[in-house]
Structures are given as structure tokens and as C-alpha cells.
Structure 1
Amino acid sequence: MTHHTDTHAISDFERRARENQQRLNAALKPVYDFIVCGGGSSGSVIARRLAENADCQVLLIEAGGDDEAESVLDPSLWPTNLGSERDWGFQAQPNPHLDGRALPMSMGKGLGGGSSVNVMVWAHGHRSDWDHYAAETGDSGWGAEAVQEIYRRIENWQGAPDPDHRGSGGPVWVQPAADPSPIAGALLDAAQELGIPRFDSPNGWMMAGDGGAAISDMLVRDGRRHSLYRAYLRPFADRPNLTILTNTLVRRILFNGRRASGVEIERAGEIRSIGVGSEVIVSTGAINTPKLLMLSGLGPRAALGRLGIPVVQHIPGVGQNLQDHVAFCCTWEYRQPLAPRNSGSEAKLYWKSRPELTAPDLLLCQVEFPVPSERTGALGVPEHGWTMFGGLAHPQSRGAVRLASSDPHVAPIVDANMLSDPADVEAARACVKLCRELGAAASFAPFVTREVIPGAGNPTDDRFLRDAAVTYWHQSGTARMGRDDLAVVDASLKVRGVEGLRVADGSVFPTVPTGNIQAPCAIVGERAAQIIRDTHCL
């Protein structure tokens, strides 16, 4: 009977929330206290935390649509979102370091952003990442201890209790992959054969030292995706002080002198302006955020001048420092078909390419189906098989995002520049070597017949690296925090040289976090919201 009541309560809430949002959308206010641009992993957190104060009028603007699609809610269907209307569909420039290949750079579009289309992995990042951010910004609030406290507060952890690192009463339902495939178990056993320790969870102790292997933590609840939008924002959709505007493009941020005064939006072909009383927060992701800043007159003076955009503030670092985890996929053929479980990615491993490193620089996720690049597919793709998605956790290569046009509808130029730094090529060789050693371990013998990509007899040469390289979809760093001339925001995420404007998303990381980035983006959202609440005494 309880189940019936639950369903009834949910549908009642959904009806209230829908009617509330229809009302609020139909009567947009001329001014809101806070405008959050982007309803992704960070924006969902910020809008919720600000809307907790009933006196704050919060407007969240999302370019994409809602998240009510089976491709979003069914964890196993995530690959079907790539290249769909739920993907911004960015394409990187042809890269000379990848033999001229132009990689697709998918980014989530719609409520939940990346957290609605990704592989649902929840990874805290390594202690050393956060301590590095604290050192770069001069603010201990970004350090590992402070961030651990936030994770404890926001998690509703369903695995083995770990009160030092995990929380139980928060909005984010996190669980170890349920009933994982035997192939995931084989990966953990193979890691142990190679002397890589195994942990109960890939977060907590595992991310304080050299790394290790574990079953992935996932944002899946009752078999459905539990995106950060679902965790944070959706439960507040029935509130009268929170307006969620979808299918609406923020064209630019408006300024009165040096103060952000509102935004210019485009919705159903109509362009209009909406004012802001306190602050505009930009959370549109590491490709769209620098684009929006530059369209608004914030960026390198020369680049803006070339496109005839009036300069509000010369900020040379906007769009610089683009980073992403580059990955190299090795694939094995199954003896007997094994259907993928959960998201099809249930085991992960962090390890070091060189023993003298103090923290892992390799990030490996097992994928329970074949994943070739458009080039390595030529080596033959088994009908049934699994892939080691091995990548660089700390790439040294840096790319850039630049404006192609002053028209907000034109995609920016994304120069990912992967493998441009020779140190990355070194690390990539070690990464592929480790992938192949794992796949050749005795633990996999009962499950696989052969290595198909690169193929047992083939050497791991640099040509394979150039052909196999793909993105992990962890673009970040393009509006980074710091205290030097190329920093775009300070420790409080305030944009340099202007007032009433912050950036809070993956673009603020000085270096890409170790691991999948949705959890660190939730931390950015929590930190931003707390800073804003303290600033305005909310």
C-alpha cells in the first residue's frame, strides 16, 4: 500500500511543480535577485541553495529542454544521448598531434547538463587536487579537508559506512554499482595481480594516496539516473520563488558600467532583457562559459576587437587553459556474450605512470562493450567484448576556446590540443601498457579469447595513440580560479574587474580534477552558493 501512496504523492508533486512552472514562465518578472545561467551539475546546485531562502527570487535559464526522456532516466541508455539534441555537439579543431583528427566534444544540453547524459560516475577527486586549488587561490575553503566536509554533508551514501569520508543525510543518493558484472570483478582481480590495491570504494581512502581499484560509485537510485538536477533542483520546482526557464539561450550578460545588470535572452525566437538585483552566476560549462563571457565583452581585448565586441573588461585568460582527460581504448573479445549491467561501466582504477609520482596520473574505467575510435575500428570490432577506457588524469597539454563570431548561435572554436605536450605522450604509452597488462592477466582468461584493439601482436606505438585518442568529456579550466594575471575568477569565483558576476562550473578548475568531474562540479556549486549566501546575508 505504501508504494501506492508514494506514487500518488509523486504525481501530486509533479502536477504542482508543472503548474507552478507554467505560471512562472508565463509571467516572467522584469528583475530577479539572482539569475543562474545553465541548469547543469553546478547550476542546479546553486539555484536550489539560493531558492532555499523564500525571500530570494531565483531565475534559472537553461538552453536545452527538460530531462523527461527514457534516454536520460535509464542508466544503460546514456550512449544514445551523444550526438542527440541533448548534446551541444561541439567539434574540436583538427589536431596535428592526433594526425589531423577532429574529435567530437560532447557536452550535456538540458536540465542536469552533463549529469543527465553522463555515465553517472561519482568521483570525489584526489586530495592533492583540492589542496592544489587551495594553494592556487590562497583559500583553504578549496582544500581537501574543507571539501571532504561538503561531501559528507551532501551525500546520501548507500555503501559500506565510512564516516570519515561519506555522508548519509544529504540530497545526493550515491551507491556502489548494484550487482556488478563478473567482468568488473575480473578487473579488480587483475589489478591485484599487478600489485594495485583494491578498495571498497573509489572515494575516501583510495583518493588520498597512490590510487587503486574499486567498483564505481554511481548516481543511480532504484535503477534510474539520479542526476544533480533530480537531486537538487527538481524537488524545489513547486516553489513560487524559483523559475526554471528551459529552451532559452542566454545571448549575453548586460552591464551597467562595470556591474552586471542582467541578461539578454532568446526564447522561441523572441529576444528580451531581464534585470538582476544581486548577481548573475554563469554555469554554462567549460566551452559555453568562455563563449558567453567573451560575447559579453569580457576577455582578451584583441580577440573581442576583431569581432567588433565592445570591451567591458580585458581578461586575457578567458578561454585559455582548456583541459580534458584524453583516453585510449583497448578492446577484448568475450568468450561468451556478457550483457552490460547498470551503466555498462562499473569498475574503475587510478594508478601512476611512474612510481616516483605522489598521486595517480592515470584514470581507467572499464566499459562493458566495445568502444573503438573512428580509426581503431578498422582493426576490427568484436561483436561482444569489453573495453579499457584508459586516460590521463593530469594532462600537461593545454588548449583554448575562442569566439568564431559575435553571433551567439555560432559555435566557438575549440582547440583541444591533446597530446601536444611530450610528457602526455610518455604517460599515454604507460597508460596503454597498463591497460594491456590488465587485459592479459589470468583473471580475464575465463572471459576473453583475445585482445582485438590494438591487437595482441601490435606494438603500442605513437601512431596507435594518435589513432585511439578520444575525449573523456571532462572539459574544464577555461575560466580558472587564481591570483595571477591569467586567472579569470578569484577564490570566491568573482569575475575579475567587474561586479555582480560569478562563474561556477568546471571551467574554474586550475587543473582538471583526477577522475570524472560531476562530483567536483557539485562542490563548485555548493561553494559558490555558500559564498553568495554569506555575501548577501541570506
Structure 2
Amino acid sequence: MDQIADYVIVGTGSAGAVLAHRLSADPAVSVVALEAGPADADRFVRIPAAFAKLFRSPLDWDYLTEAQPQVGDRRFYWPRGKMLGGSSSMNAMMWVRGFAADYDEWAAHAGDAWSFAAVAKLFDRIEGGALHIEAQRSPRRSTTQWLTAVQQAGYPVELPNRDTPGGFAQTAVCQRRGARWSSADGYLRPALQRDNLTVLTGAAATRVLVDDGRAVGVEIDQRGRRRVVRARREVILSAGAVNTPKLLLLSGIGDRDHLDDHGVPVVRHTPEVGRNLQDHLVVPLGFEVAGDSLFDAERPRQLAAYLLRRRGMLTSNIGEAYGFIRSRPDLELPDLELIFAPAPFFDEGLGTPTAHAVVFGPILVKPHSRGRVGLRSADPLAKPVIDPRYLSDPEGRDRAAMMAGLQACARIAETAAMKRLITGIARPRDTDTLDDAALQRALQECSHTLYHPVGTCRMGTDEHSVVDPELRVRGIEGLRVADASVMPTIIRGHTHAPSVVIGERAAELIRS
């Protein structure tokens, strides 16, 4: 039987959970939130240092990109949360807002309501309300040594989340007393007691139903059964930068030629659906150390410290420190982030460590390259085509920036503080020096995603944008998008924070 509500939300991640909470706060409306995965009940969800144990589990969409010619023709593993809380239930919990200039760049595309002056008020609401943003409880001594090393290399150390970061910081984390605090914890769970909110798990959205130019509901596959959840007012897609464009394409909203290729009837020719894909590429260099790395996190002493006091290695978010630098002195703002993890986090997080190690490396936070998300087939349960086209910009600016970042990391490795810590090089393999040849090899062999895809349903004031500044899908009444896919440009930061902001702004727009 069909179900009906005023609002139907697809996805319960960083933005979708916010919408479920804010919209259901009005007792006069009814809300159904659809989650393709199960509840976030797995024990590894709560334990911060254990997030990689969720990779390639039933709680992960477990995506692979197309082969990437610029980085050794490798296919990159893209984990995406498939549970209540979405990726906020399996990310590294880093609360990194980005630069004020990043949001002002959004405003240049989509109007002043997206400027930093406007969203700063939302950040204040979020950080003082539903989400717990805390300092780390048990950072590693090696993290402190790395921050000393970056100072010895000439970089300043400062507090996190300044409007215009100018140096390095220990990471602020989305945790409460040493345990993960996701959007499901902060927004969704408190709203579940409301009679006007229904959350359906195991409910994979397969198509938005459009009748005479208006979205009227969502077709779902729930444990092998097809059914429809109808919307009196609006359908809101918050399925993320991969699954939201995929769902629009399955619904006939996208490039006409691409839809024809897969036999999907065209509802609206919107060529940019799935285009403008941007992501943060990271190259973690690995260094052998004598001890005190998260290689010991599963020892009985650490387990006891976590269970009894919420202290110790298991409270680590892995990426314990970071900072921003410029790849060239003529740049107005940084284009690179350097990240440090006191852990042998190798091989896209899928490898099994065999010894103590730490990693640090550059992240390309303002890439010039653009990719796409598309359909592989008209089967709604088939995985999509994901082609980020890393380092593909014709001028080679992205590759040059990454090499500059790797060279900066090599200099940091030569500081006195790091020489007291490092006993050898673990990645790239089979080298004892970080010369340019070794760094080029690291870029080819060790690079992977930092899990920040955005931009595939970009917002804008121009008619070619997928959604308008109020996040309404152009040409379709009663349909909005509210997630990382609407970002016109990627931020110099981590995408959980701006995605929560998008959820808050979307709720304001819908309620108004």
C-alpha cells in the first residue's frame, strides 16, 4: 500500500537528518524519511578509531571509481555511509568548516544567502546545539611532535576553525565524551519520538515520481518489495553527491542523450545532472615509528580505557591534526591541506597493518579537475559510473600543486622533531629517501580519496544550474536537493560541516 506524507526526504545523512528534525518540529505536518541502509547499531559506529572496520560492510555503499589515467589507471575505493546518519556515521569526525572565502564563492554563484556572513549564524546554531564539537580526549604524542615539526618547518600553529585559517591545528571532532556523535545522534534520534515523523530503513529510493511537471512521491525498494511513498508538498533529495544525481537520472531528469542511452524516458533535459564532480585527493606518505601509534589501539589496555573512561587510542579520529598551505607563493589563499594520522592508515584504509607507523601528506583542497557521476544501467540497484578524473586539468595545475605539497611534507620529515620520531619510510615502498622520483611514485601509487565528493547537482542563479538558490530542481515543482551535491565549488575543509549547514538552510527555505 502507498504511504503519504507532506514531506518525503530521501537520505538520513549529514543534511537529511537535519531536515527530518527541523521539518517534523511542526506538529501540523507529516514527514517520512527514507534510508536505504539499516539502523546505525553496529558497535564500530560509536568507536571513533574503528570507522575503517565499516568499510565494505553492509553499512557501506562500497563504490569504485572508473580507472584514473593520471594516477596509474587505478580504480579508487569510495566508501559512503549506508545507515542512519549516512556518511556522518562512518567518517573521520573532522569538523573543519573551511574558509569564509569558500562560502563567499558559493554566494557568487547562488546569491548572498549562501555567503559566509549568512551561514556563520547557522554554524553558531549547529555548534551550540544539536552537534557536539569537542577537542580530542587522548591525542597521540606523535601528533604533538608533528605540530612541533611544522613549526620547525616555518608554519604557524593556531586554534581550529578560524574564518581564514593561516596555519596548523589539532582537529576538532564530532564526538561526545570520546564517542562518535553523528547527525543521526544530534538530529534524527531526538525527533523519532514525534508521531508525525516516520523513518523507513532498508528503503532504497529507485525513482522520483513526476506527474505533470510536479514531484508527487518516491518509488522505493524495501527488502525486495516495490512500493510508493507519496508527498503532498515536497520531495527532498539528501542522498549525497553520488546517489542524488543517480536518482535524478533514474527519474528522467538529466542529459537527454545519456538517458536515451539507458532507455530512461526523459522527464526534463537537465544536462548538468551528475557533472561538476569535485573531490579531495590525498597522498599519505607512510613512516615507520618505534611505537605509540594506533597500531596498538585494539590491545586490552586500550579497550578497557575506552569502555571504562572513554579515553585512550580508540577515541582517536585517526586524522588528529591538519593545516593549510599554498602550493605557490602568488596564491591569495591556500590550495593544499596537510593532514597527520598517528596510524598505519595505508591502502585506502583497507589494508591490515603489520607494524607501527604514522602517515602525513597533502590534500588538494581546490582542484581544477572536474568529473561526473552517471548511470551504468537503468537498473536502480546497479552501482553508478563514478569518474572523478583526478589530476586531469589540461594545464597540469593540480599535479603541480600535489607535488609541491609532497615536497613540503618531505621537508617536514627532515625536521628535528620528526627525526626523533621516524625510523624509516613505509610508503612509498622500497625507498629510503623522499626525492622527487619517490614523491612522483607516491602520487601514482598511494593517492586516494579523502571522501569528499561534491558538486553534482550544483546550485546557481544561472539557468544551467541543476537547482536554484533555494535548492529547487529547475523545471520540476515540489522537488529540492539538499546535500553536498548542491555545492557549486568544493570548500577548503571537510564536507560534513557544510553539509549540515545546507540541511539547516534547506529547512529554513522550506518552512518559509
TM-score (norm 2): 0.92
| Match for residue 506 of structure 2 among 485, 505, 528 | 528
Q: Provide the rounded CA distance (Å) in 2 between the counterparts of 1:344 and 1:287.
A: 25
Q: Residue 414 in 1 paired to residue 390 in 2?
A: no
Residue of structure 2 in register with 1:77 after alignment:
50
| Match for residue 317 of structure 1 among 269, 272, 290 | 272
| Match for residue 63 of structure 2 among 80, 87, 90 | 90
The answer for unaligned runs of 5 or more in structure 1 is 1-27, 157-169
Q: Provide the rounded CA distance (Å) in 1 between the counterparts of 2:279 and 2:320.
A: 21
- RMSD over aligned CA atoms reads 1.8
Q: Residue 146 in 1 paired to residue 118 in 2?
A: yes
Q: CA offsets, 1:112-143, max 9 Å, x none?
A: 11100001111111111100000111x21111
Residue of structure 2 in register with 1:490 after alignment:
468
State the AA in 2 paired with 1:184: T
Map 1:292-441 → 2, pairs under 5 A = 292-339=247-294, 341=313, 342-373=316-347, 383-421=355-393, 422-441=396-415
Residue of structure 2 in register with 1:223 after alignment:
178
Q: Residue 53 in 1 paired to residue 26 in 2?
A: yes
Q: Residue 193 in 1 paired to residue 152 in 2?
A: yes
Q: Calculate percent identity across the aligned residue pairs.
A: 38
Residue of structure 1 in register with 2:303 after alignment:
none
Cα distance change of structure 1 residues 82 and 195 upon mapping to structure 2, 3 Å threshold: same
Q: Provide the rounded CA distance (Å) in 2 between the counterparts of 1:532 and 1:283.
A: 14
Q: CA deviation at 1:29?
A: 6.6
Cα distance change of structure 1 residues 423 and 287 upon mapping to structure 2, 3 Å threshold: same
Q: Provide the rounded CA distance (Å) in 1 between the counterparts of 2:238 and 2:348.
A: 31
Q: CA deviation at 1:264?
A: 0.7
State the AA in 1 paired with 2:399: V
The answer for unaligned runs of 5 or more in structure 2 is 298-312
Residue of structure 2 in register with 1:124 after alignment:
97
Q: Provide the rounded CA distance (Å) in 1 between the counterparts of 2:202 and 2:122.
A: 31
Deviates more, 1:334-343 or 1:412-421: 334-343
Counterpart secondary structure, 1:396: coil
| Match for residue 448 of structure 1 among 422, 431, 442 | 422
Is the 8 Å Cα contact of residues 30 and 275 (structure 1) preserved in structure 2? yes
Map 1:456-495 → 2, pairs under 5 A = 456-461=432-437, 462-495=440-473
Q: CA offsets, 1:226-249, max 9 Å, x none?
A: 001101110111110110100111
Q: CA deviation at 1:485?
A: 4.5
Aligned residues: 487
Q: Provide the rounded CA distance (Å) in 2 between the counterparts of 1:128 and 1:108.
A: 29
Q: Provide the rounded CA distance (Å) in 2 between the counterparts of 1:179 and 1:276.
A: 47
| Match for residue 501 of structure 1 among 447, 472, 479 | 479
Is the 8 Å Cα contact of residues 33 and 199 (structure 2) preserved in structure 1? yes
Cα distance change of structure 1 residues 258 and 343 upon mapping to structure 2, 3 Å threshold: same
Map 1:160-199 → 2, pairs under 5 A = 170-199=129-158
State the AA in 2 paired with 1:500: G
TM-score (norm 1): 0.88
Residue of structure 2 in register with 1:23 after alignment:
none
Q: Provide the rounded CA distance (Å) in 2 between the counterparts of 1:112 and 1:185.
A: 31
Q: CA deviation at 1:507?
A: 0.6
Is the 8 Å Cα contact of residues 459 and 487 (structure 2) preserved in structure 1? yes
Counterpart secondary structure, 2:347: coil
Q: CA deviation at 1:108?
A: 1.0
State the AA in 2 paired with 1:457: T
Counterpart secondary structure, 2:226: strand
Q: CA offsets, 1:484-536, max 9 Å, x none?
A: 354111111110111100011111111111111100100010010000000xx
Residue of structure 1 in register with 2:494 after alignment:
516
Q: Provide the rounded CA distance (Å) in 2 between the counterparts of 1:283 and 1:400.
A: 18
| Match for residue 224 of structure 2 among 269, 274, 279 | 269
Q: CA deviation at 1:382?
A: 6.7
Q: CA offsets, 1:315-334, max 9 Å, x none?
A: 00000011110010101111
Q: Provide the rounded CA distance (Å) in 2 between the counterparts of 1:255 and 1:136.
A: 28
Is the 8 Å Cα contact of residues 141 and 292 (structure 2) preserved in structure 1? no
State the AA in 2 paired with 1:84: S
Q: CA deviation at 1:189?
A: 1.1
Is the 8 Å Cα contact of residues 333 and 382 (structure 1) preserved in structure 2? no
Q: CA deviation at 1:451?
A: 3.0
Q: Provide the rounded CA distance (Å) in 1 between the counterparts of 2:91 and 2:348.
A: 20
Q: Provide the rounded CA distance (Å) in 1 between the counterparts of 2:322 and 2:11.
A: 29
Q: Provide the rounded CA distance (Å) in 2 between the counterparts of 1:375 and 1:33.
A: 41
Q: CA offsets, 1:175-222, max 9 Å, x none?
A: 01123111111121111112211112x202xx415x311110101112
Cα distance change of structure 1 residues 291 and 374 upon mapping to structure 2, 3 Å threshold: closer
